[in-house]
Amino acid sequence: MRIYLFIAAVAGGATYLLTPLIRHLAIRIGAVGEVRSRDVHTIPTPRMGGLAMMLGFVIAMLFASRIPFIEGLFHENHQAWVVMIGAVLICLLGMADDLWDLDWMLKMAGQLLISVFVAWGGLQIISLPLGSLVTASPSLSMAITAFLIVASINAVNFVDGFDGLSSGIVAIGGIAFAIYSYVLARTSPSYASMATLIDVALVGICVGFIMHNWHPAKLFMGDSGSMLLGYLITCASIVLTGHIDPASVHTSVYLPVFMPILLPVLVLFLPVLDMCLAIVRRLAKGQSPMHPDRMHLHHRMLRIGHSVQGAVLILWAWAALISFGSLMILFVPAWLVLVGMVVAAVILTVITMYPYLRHRLVELRAEDEQSARQQ
């Protein structure tokens, strides 16, 4: 565990130190986001912070490749190097979008090509742990892998609307998934350690960047960052989920057979939910699925009456409830987890709706007073 914490610290420290340099670079080359109608910020702010995050991730992985306990993961197969090459490519694609605002079809084509390259390089869902091990054909495996990577990339990109929101949600999901993969690493073959390594490095770069990205942000991560985060958390999920046999996990872990499938979905529940709602909403209006608007979950939080910081913290809390609540099934009886999640959900619902309820109560009192005067 201490080695993984060290890797997270290296990733976070490198990202934190590199971010100011990337900010100056972004200003010099013109990667500055203009204020659009759907934006919350009021002044042009440099973007391309994903470059600092990518460099922090690569530095942490190179450090890990020299640590005796972990270096075997880099020699057993090429997965670690494929993940790093894919991270560089997806970040470069995001940087191009940050600079030139690529057409969404061109950007998605680039995402798909990179995803296919990563799958071709060996990072594939070979099997699905659906109670028993279900093996996929090579072509189907590559197609599923590419689809999941592209979907997760865009899900995180959709939710990247407030300072610190997407990096915080991904960090929370990364912590939950790192704990899960670490538990499996103690009872299963060593491939689970690769998922843990990717997750802890991911959490590190998120924390290192949030220190510069908290509202009001000095630098936006841009598409280079949001696409990178979606890519990395999906890679960790594929490394673990696509190769695990539930029968190989010791029963003392209390692992439900569907947890390898459910947890990767649950840690990205909010981004995936926001993406699905946006696609349905836009298609219903006859618009492109990528047409921007101000109807995302985080925009609705502002309309309810929350501040930017308050909305981010509440959405973080929802992400933590879903991620860690599902994770607790590994250690606590399911009925206790269910009770705890219901209680926490009620509390968070009240906190989420409090500004609206407060204003609505004032309006109702005013209406009652007006009615009383008229009588």
Instruction: Convert the pLDDT of each residue in 5-32 to its tens digit.
Output: 999 999 999 999 999 999 999 999 988 8
Alpha-carbon distance of 286 to 283, in angstroms, equals 5
Residue 329, both tokens: 């099934």
The 3-state secondary structure of 292-346, one letter per residue: CCCCCHHHHHHHHCCCHHHHHHHHHHHHHHHHHHHHHHHCCCHHHHHHHHHHHHH
pLDDT at 59: 97
Over residues 135-158, mean pLDDT: 85
Q: pLDDT band for 42, please (50, 70, 90 cuts).
A: low
Q: How far is CA 194 from the centre of its chain?
A: 18
pTM of the model: 0.87
HSE (side-chain half, CA atoms, 13 Å) at 108: 11
Asked whether 32 and 47 are in contact (CB, 8 A), the reply is yes
Over residues 177-204, mean pLDDT: 80
HSE (side-chain half, CA atoms, 13 Å) at 295: 15
Over residues 77-81, mean pLDDT: 88
Q: pLDDT band for 47, please (50, 70, 90 cuts).
A: confident
Residue 24 neighbours by CB distance under 10 Å: 11
- CA-wise closest residue to 212 among 17, 363, 59, 5: 17
Residue 156 has pLDDT above 70, yes or no: yes
Q: pLDDT band for 218, please (50, 70, 90 cuts).
A: confident
Higher pLDDT, 191 or 73: 73
pLDDT at 45: 84
Q: pLDDT band for 68, please (50, 70, 90 cuts).
A: confident
pLDDT in tens, 225-284: 999 999 999 998 888 775 555 445 444 444 444 555 666 677 788 888 888 888 888 888
Give bridge partners of residue 46 from the DSSP assignment: 32
Residue 150, both tokens: 């592209």
Most confident of 91-100, 260-269, 283-292: 91-100
Q: pLDDT band for 371, please (50, 70, 90 cuts).
A: low
> Coil, strand or helix: which one is 32?
strand
DSSP 116-163: HHHHHTT----EEEESEEEEPPHHHHHHHHHHHHHHHHHHHHHHTTST
Over residues 47-67, mean pLDDT: 94
Which of 348-352's residues contact partners 24+ apart within 8 Å by CB, and which partners? Answer: 348/314, 348/317, 348/318, 348/321, 351/314, 351/317, 352/301, 352/304, 352/314, 352/318
Residue 296, both tokens: 């995302």
Torsion of CA 339, 342, 344, 350, to 10 degrees: -150
- CA-wise closest residue to 98 among 61, 150, 62, 53: 53
Residue 296, judged by CB atoms within 10 A of its CB (0-12, 13-18, 19+), counts as: buried
Q: How far is CA 365 from the centre of its chain?
A: 42
Alpha-carbon distance of 167 to 341, in angstroms, equals 23
Residue 4, both tokens: 């993984």
Over residues 217-231, mean pLDDT: 92
> Coil, strand or helix: which one is 31?
coil
User: What percentage of the chain reaches a pLDDT higher than 70?
Assistant: 85
pLDDT at 195: 87
User: Amino acid letter at 324?
Assistant: F
Please state whether 46 falls in left (phi above 0), alpha (psi between -120 and 50) or beta: beta
pLDDT at 251: 40
Most confident of 10-14, 119-123, 140-144: 10-14
Instruction: Output the average pLDDT for the chain.
Output: 84
Angle formed by the axes of helices 79-100 and 104-120, to 10°?
A: 170
Q: Please state whether beta strands 132-135 and 32-33 pair in parallel, antiparallel, or not at all (unpaired).
A: unpaired
Q: How far is CA 314 from the centre of its chain?
A: 16
Q: pLDDT band for 75, please (50, 70, 90 cuts).
A: confident
Q: pLDDT band for 40, please (50, 70, 90 cuts).
A: low
